[in-house]
Amino acid sequence: MAEQIARPLGRQLLWSAVCMASALAGCASAPPQQELLLAGAALDGAVSAGAAEMAPAELLLARNKFESAKVAAAKGDNDRARALAEEAEVDALLARNKAGAERSRRANAEVQQGLKALQEQGIKP
């Protein structure tokens, strides 16, 4: 009796595993539309933050990966496209943050220079 119950249960588990694997494989091969949108938005943010001037190498790397991701997606290589888009997003965020840090450094240097000029004139801030 237990053997008769175990067989259908084993088949159900096997069938469930096959269905789950198929569903996961389908998700993994879906076009990376969201990742491409996020990478594009991150690139726009980096450009707006001044990365073209203050972090050109990082911005160029992000743009190249983004373009490669679009090419891979067009060819149907969705896993590669997804990975490249995610890398492009991270590189664009790095470029944006590096540009922000450089703006902060420049602003700090300007304030320090102003303070030094005031001190030289004998004026205490």
At 99, phi and psi to the nearest 5? -65, -40
Structure-model confidence comparison of residues 2 and 59, the more confident one: 59
Q: pLDDT tens, 1-52? A: 545 544 554 555 445 555 555 555 555 579 999 999 999 999 999 999 999 9
Quote the pLDDT of residue 118.
86
In DSSP notation, the chain reads -HHHHHHHHHHHHHHHHHHHHHHHHHHHTS--HHHHHHHHHHHHHHHHTTHHHH-HHHHHHHHHHHHHHHHHHHTT-HHHHHHHHHHHHHHHHHHHHHHHHHHHHHHHHHHHHHHHHHHHTT---
